[in-house]
Amino acid sequence: MTIRREMKNERKETKPVLHLVGENGNAFMLLGLARRCAKENGMDWDKIQSEATSGDYDHLLQVLCTYFDVE
């Protein structure tokens, strides 16, 4: 009896790197850096900005971590 195992073809999604370490933690500064990174990588900035600014500062950080590889 042969057991067949199927491996899921998991494609690891790569996110653009957003360098925030050592930067000013002001929300406007973070949005500016994220905007530049998004534009350079052909991302839908309007969607990201709308989502990022729909809550408090912690929500902003969570959204940036969703779309970018934050360092």
Q: Say whether pLDDT at 9 is over 50.
A: no
More confident residue, 8 or 40: 40
* pLDDT the model gives residue 60: 96
pLDDT at 34: 97
- The per-residue pLDDT for range 10-61, each reduced to its tens digit, is 445 799 999 998 878 899 999 999 999 999 999 999 999 999 999 999 999 9
Instruction: Report the SS3 class of residue 27.
Output: helix
Count of domains observed in the chain: 1
Given phi > 0 = left and psi -120 to 50 = alpha, else beta, which region is 19? beta
Asked if residue 41 belongs to a domain, the reply is: yes
pLDDT at position 12, please? 59
Structural domain contains residue 46: yes
In a domain, 7, yes or no: no
